[in-house]
Amino acid sequence: MREVKAFAPATVANVAAGFDVLGFALDSPGDELTAKFSDQHGVRISRITGDDGRLPLDSRKNTAGVAVHALLNHIGETRGIELLLDKKMPLGSGLGSSAASAVVAVVAVNALLGEPLSKRDLLPFALEGERIACGSAHADNAAPSLLGGFVLIRSYTPLDIVPLPMPEKLHATVVHPHIEIQTKDARGILKQQVSLSNAITQWGNTAGLVAGILMSDYGLISRSLQDVIVEPIRSILIPRFYEMKQAALDAGALGCSISGSGPSLFALSDSMETAHAVARAMTLVLDNIGIGSDAFISKVNQTGAKVLSIA
Amino acid sequence: MREVKAFAPATVANVAAGFDVLGFALDSPGDELTAKFSDQHGVRISRITGDDGRLPLDSRKNTAGVAVHALLNHIGETRGIELLLDKKMPLGSGLGSSAASAVVAVVAVNALLGEPLSKRDLLPFALEGERIACGSAHADNAAPSLLGGFVLIRSYTPLDIVPLPMPEKLHATVVHPHIEIQTKDARGILKQQVSLSNAITQWGNTAGLVAGILMSDYGLISRSLQDVIVEPIRSILIPRFYEMKQAALDAGALGCSISGSGPSLFALSDSMETAHAVARAMTLVLDNIGIGSDAFISKVNQTGAKVLSIA
């Protein structure tokens, strides 16, 4: 085996009340990465496309590179490895771009090395990569990108990852307004104290959302897609947030909130048709104020990162 | 039909991280109540046993009486009704005594009237009764007492009750130290602001507990039975709380925390045998400091309140 190409999906983290603990994966978009053995020592990123030159090629500073370094250190692998990363999603958009790059890199390299580790065991190395990009590692992007579906991060110390069997019909709409928010900034504006009363509302909704997913109860999912703590603050950074949200609900979405740390919004629907209608309604709001946007419409992905080809 | 006797079980509310949103029912203890038609107008409580004379016989001031008044008003029933309440659990113990009395009353009277309402529709009237006793209505006692099993209260306004299908093997140990805490006092010492970081830990655990219940994952239930917000404060009111908790865990409990607003503690186990061992270990801690206690060991009740006899 000389060369492995892999894919890792974009993800929606901070799913409404599930701030920091709940994320899900999209069928598309996602990152692709090719990993090859190289005669040069160490880890070398020889090409990045789709990033407009914004990501560092230095493998010690790049999300994908750091994740691979961590993996190779862990298993004691010393052969030289070359990475070619094709970014196929917008950066800084709230779609888990850093996490997808870290995940696709460890999945490709693990396959290149003959799968010394199980898929699930790759997560800590992907998180090492994400730590570089975001200042801290929030597994609610990396875990669903790796494993697919909805994933609950019950705890960070120790890391406790709970993939949630989920209903068939969940479709996601993600609308990415063409503005940019840094994860660090979006985190900085959050209040470090919250009222007990709001916190109770939030954990009622987190629990309700998880129950709705596990019981395939779309009505409960819909009623639980509420965030009284983070959305009211972060939505300030997103022009016409509440208009877009209302447009999504009017178009039949089960719920709508901020994707990751924004500026993208996500909506969930119970059919592909509704997910498309929701996308049209949301982007129209941005069109009307002259802000461009991309819309991604996708089933909620159930498989996560995967190897595309081995040569 | 002239006379109905019913039963409503004791409950554990505030289940660890599920403060205000998650409760479960016990097979025993529980309250019994007989409802009869009476020639006297209105609602009359002619007897209460098991309360050491502490509960008011005035039906406008008594949990059970107020709940029945609310129910009769709703359905426009004007016949006189007599209630005989047999308290079969300790008052002010954190076992949902008020809720059980309110629930047993509406279940008995609804049956006496030929079941004009479904069981689930009785909840708002039981909550009216509990509001009298506690100052506010916390459905995480009344809902599981009525419906059995684990019940999630996703939201209070509007009320959104989610019964959770649960694993077969869950057993509860409840230890009631012979000290008393008023619900109002236990609520008064809580901080009205909590850190975002603790809140995130809490909703991760709430979600984890619900996922563990729905996925019959005892390990996940065990890891999720943690409360970083309420237990650290309320445990101050309970002598040797952490010793009892550690004793429960050492004896094989999945987890242990405060039942309701205390002073009782609950522990969950995956067998009756362990639940008994846990009770012995916990009560021994109290014995050693000269505090008496009752221990209740029971399967988690799956059926809730029920009619015992109709004459």
Domain topology for B3-164+304-310: Ribosomal Protein S5; domain 2 (3.30.230)
The pLDDT of residue A24: 98
Active-site annotation holder among B11, B63, B173, B183: B183
Question: If interface means Cβ-Cβ distance under 8 Å, which residues of chain B face chain A?
Answer: 17-22, 152-155, 160, 162, 164-165, 190-197, 199-211, 214-215, 220, 223-224, 229
Q: Is the peptide bond before A263 cis (omega within 30 degrees of 0)?
A: yes
Per-residue pLDDT for chain A (311 aa), expressed as one digit of tens each?
689 999 999 999 999 999 999 999 999 999 999 999 999 999 999 999 999 989 999 999 999 999 999 999 999 999 999 999 999 998 888 899 999 999 999 999 999 999 999 999 999 999 998 888 667 777 999 999 999 999 999 999 899 999 999 999 999 999 999 987 776 777 788 999 999 999 999 999 999 999 999 999 999 999 999 999 999 999 999 999 999 999 999 999 999 999 998 999 999 999 999 999 999 999 999 999 999 999 999 999 999 999 999 99
Q: Which residues on B lie below 8 Å from A201 (Cβ)?
A: 155
Q: Which residues on A lie below 8 Å from B192 (Cβ)?
A: 195-197
**Among B18, B165, B207, beta carbon nearest to A21:** B207
Asked about B273 being catalytic, the answer comes back as no
The pLDDT of residue B183: 66
ipTM more than 0.90?
yes
Q: Give the residue from B50, B63, B57, B52 showing the smallest Cα distance to B96.
A: B63
Domain with CATH 3.30.70.890 in chain A: 171-299
Q: Which residues on B lie below 8 Å from A197 (Cβ)?
A: 192
The pLDDT of residue B1: 66
Domain with CATH 3.30.230.10 in chain A: 3-164
CB contact under 8 A, A193 and B195: yes
Minimal C-alpha gap between B252 and chain A (Å): 21
- Averaged in consecutive runs of 10 residues, what is the pLDDT profile of chain B (311 residues)? 93 96 97 96 95 91 96 95 95 91 98 97 94 78 97 94 94 94 77 96 98 98 98 94 98 97 96 98 97 96 96 90
Q: Which CATH number fits domain A3-164: 3.40.30.10, 3.30.230.10, 3.30.70.3190, 3.40.50.300?
A: 3.30.230.10
Domain with CATH 3.30.230.10 in chain B: 3-164+304-310
Asked about B183 being catalytic, the answer comes back as yes
CATH number for the domain whose boundaries are A171-299: 3.30.70.890
- pTM flag (> 0.90): yes
SS3 of chain B = CCEEEEEEEEEECCECCECCCEEEEEEEEEEEEEEEEECCCCEEEEEEECCCCCCCCCCCCCHHHHHHHHHHHHHCCCCEEEEEEECCCCCCCCCCHHHHHHHHHHHHHHHHCCCCCCCHHHHHHHHHHHHHHHCCCCHHHHHHHHHCCEEEEEECCCCEEEEECCCCCCEEEEEEECCCCCHHHHHHCCCCEEEHHHHHHHHHHHHHHHHHHHCCCHHHHHHHCCCCCCHHHHHHHCCCHHHHHHHHHHCCCCEEEECCCCCCEEEEECCHHHHHHHHHHHHHHHHHCCCCEEEEEEEECCCCCEEEEEC
